[in-house]
Structure 1
Amino acid sequence: MQNENNKLIALVVEDNQDFAQLVCDILHIQGCTPHVAYRAEAALTIARNINPDIVFCDLGLPGDMNGLDFARSMRADASLRSIPLVAITGYTSEQDKAAAMAAGFNMVFPKPFKFVDLTNAIAQYARRD
């Protein structure tokens, strides 16, 4: 779902506020309209309200729901299950990547990520209605 300016809507789920702002700034430069949530529970509510084109999510989130739980919840919700999920995480072992993919992520990028990673994810997975 693109907004009125025909920009892709992105949701960033990241508890580190500085890092979240960095990702939002890069997404804005890429022509997206970014939204941010610092906890997975809040991100689910926001996702249901804005129907983002793509979600970038950390795996190590505080609270009752981590990034894997968030992905499983999105995939279990009929209104959210088709939204592309991209993990941006410090958990970079092969086991961590496999767990992220099994939970429903489409891609996993290690922190620190490369600018081109976000560009490629947007180009590959963002819906263009």
Structure 2
Amino acid sequence: MQNENNNIHALVVEDNQDFAQLVCDILHIQGCTSHVAYNARAGLELAKRIRPAIVFCDVGLPGVMNGLDFARTMRADESLRAIPLVAITGYTSEQDKTIALAAGFNIVFPKPFKFADLLKALDQFAR
């Protein structure tokens, strides 16, 4: 039986290397090819190069550009704006969720996320 997600390229933008690896492992189990960037700027460069089918991004990225800035920049770039953005974040209040959605994320999942959440995002946005 062939996995429905084969050939789906996913980008994970997450500064916590262990958490990024966990997300990539789950994506791999689902038959996706995953790519990782550990900060927003590297994530934008990688997104422009690989044109992923979906991006999973931490909101609380450290440095000059956080996850909200990443989302706004992707949405402002004509070549990237249509790529689905999934926030995986520790910022879980309703206000935080509203801010993330306004920045350009399509959906917001709290950390720790559920395996089913990741599958839901793949089903909803990447197929």
TM superposition score normalised by structure 2: 0.95
Report the residue type matching 1:104 in the other structure.
G
> What RMSD, in angstroms, separates the aligned Cα atoms of the two structures?
1.1
Residues 111-126 of structure 1: pairs in structure 2 closer than 5 A: 111-126=111-126
Equivalent in the alignment of 1:24: 24
Aligned equivalents of 2:6, 2:103: Cα separation in 1:
30
Q: Distance in 1 between matches of 2:125 and 2:45?
A: 22
**Gap regions ≥5 residues in structure 1:** none
- CA distance in structure 1 between the partners assigned to 2:69 and 2:6 by the alignment: 31
Query: How much does 1:63 deviate?
Result: 1.1
Instruction: Say whether 1:78 aligns with 2:110.
Output: no
Q: Distance in 2 between matches of 1:20 and 1:60?
A: 13
Residue of structure 2 in register with 1:45 after alignment: 45
1:62 shift after superposition? 1.0
In structure 1, what is the Cα distance between the partners aligned to 2:19 and 2:120?
A: 19
Give 1:7 shift: 1.4
Matches within 5 A, 1:37-116: 37-116=37-116
